[in-house]
Amino acid sequence: MTLIGAGTVVIDGQICRPGWVQTTGRRIVDCGAGMPAGPVDVAFPDCVVVPGFIDMHVHGGGGASYTEGNAGDVARAAEFHLRHGTTTTLASLVTATPAEMLSAVGALAEETRRGTVAGIHLEGPYLNPARCGAHDHTRLRAPDLAEIDAVLAAADGTVRMVTLAPELPGSTEAIRRFLDAGVVVAVGHTDASYEQTQRAIALGATVGTHLFNAMPPLDHRVPGPALALLADPRVTVEIIADGVHVHPAMVHAVIEAATPERVAVVTDAIAAAGCGDGAFRLGTVPVDVESGVVRVHQTSTIAGSTATMDQLFRNVAGFRPDPDAALTAAVQVTSATPARALRLECVGNLRAGFAANLVVLDQDLGVVAVMANGVWRAGTTDT
């Protein structure tokens, strides 16, 4: 049993100063405001304790990628992001051939069972070539039910989300098939109209993949998918809050308009995260990193990011002048909202019975320590 005390703890969305969390094994057994009843095992008097971050859209980091499902690479990427506070990772795959996709899904299914990642996000191949972004346009294709069934069989329940373009032929049947399998359907990399997006939502799509990126911009006469996603209370919108993909003022406006309960910030990070500038690959596509920005080689097309969730937490926390409102909003969009969007149980909050996943932040919101499933995995615990 471990009793953790801190100057500030965000418990179930409420700021407690001071606060405490008690863990046993992999679970939180109790938590509360004020001073704990007994002596603490680990004290962080000048720090903030928040739930572990949940990244529902990430392709890799620390020089390693989830793309091929290689066990060593998966562990290396997940460990890199863990050091930055991400205790729950959905491994995102890019568009690949049918054989490559089946191989990667099968390998990542095994890593999900091992607990290295929390599941698989299929970003493609059912995307619109007109909005392919950094995906290999030669491998994009319309949904095929036989292929979908093969992928679902290989995944054995580990595919948690799929991003697709609802205007493609066969998308209606694909959405239904994925939903029947318990997979969250996201709209993204799409040229869909406002009305087509509304129909996808009516069918059961509940996530907008990296809002504004790889979709038509908002227009007052042709509002497109972005407004349809923002306007529907059933939809959670991802947003890459790195200051590159979306202007900070727009990120702030989205969080204020949709509320933090409907916004999940994501990194969309690739293997280059944490590696500095240079040449990398995203699947088969060569990309270059310059000043921390990833672009498809010799183009202006942004290709994922080098961001980490702690960086995005700090960015969101800086949007509001009220520090308490800023802190609770940052916690919501980095933990509770993605957990709800993915229908993940017992993560995303500091609450009795939930997984003992937490991040200790200093006064500048830098990571001091990380606990995942009751084990200190990064930083110092002798503060």
Cα 359 vs. chain centroid, distance in angstroms?
Answer: 16
Give the burial string for 105-123 (b: 16+ CB within 10 Å, else e).
Answer: bbbbbebbeeebbbbbbbb
The answer to the question of whether 210 is labelled as a binding residue is: yes
The answer to the question of whether 214 is labelled as a binding residue is: yes
The answer to the question of whether 188 is labelled as a binding residue is: no
The catalytically annotated residue of 46, 268, 288, 310 is 268
Compute φ and ψ for 269, nearest 5 degrees: -70, 150
Distance set, CA 156 to CA 112, 122, 150, 353 (Å): 10, 14, 10, 27
The answer to the question of whether 59 is labelled as a binding residue is: no
Residues 168, 143: Cα–Cα separation, whole Å: 8
The answer to the question of whether 134 is labelled as a binding residue is: yes
Nearest Cα neighbor of 283 from 170, 132, 174 is 132
Q: Are 302 and 293 in contact (CB under 8 A)?
A: yes
The answer to the question of whether 84 is labelled as a binding residue is: no
The answer to the question of whether 302 is labelled as a binding residue is: yes
Nearest Cα neighbor of 311 from 117, 83, 91, 73 is 83
Q: Are 333 and 355 in contact (CB under 8 A)?
A: no
- Which three-class secondary structure string do you get for 8-31? EEEECCEEECCEEEEEECCEEEEE
The answer to the question of whether 121 is labelled as a binding residue is: no
Q: Are 8 and 47 in contact (CB under 8 A)?
A: yes
- Could you tell me how many helices (H) and strands (E) the chain has, helices first? 10, 21
Compute φ and ψ for 363, nearest 5 degrees: -70, -20
**Four-point Cα dihedral 30, 35, 37, 38, nearest 10:** 100
The backbone region for 137, taken as left when phi is positive above 0, alpha when psi lies in -120 to 50, beta otherwise, is alpha
Does the N-terminal peptide bond of residue 125 adopt cis geometry, omega within 30 degrees of 0?
A: yes
Active site annotation includes 268 = yes
Residues 108, 103: Cα–Cα separation, whole Å: 9
Annotated binding site: 123, 134, 189, 210, 213-214, 221, 245, 302-304
Task: Please give the positions annotated as active site.
Answer: 268
Annotated binding site for Zn(2+): 123, 189, 210
Annotated binding site for substrate: 134, 213-214, 221, 245, 302-304
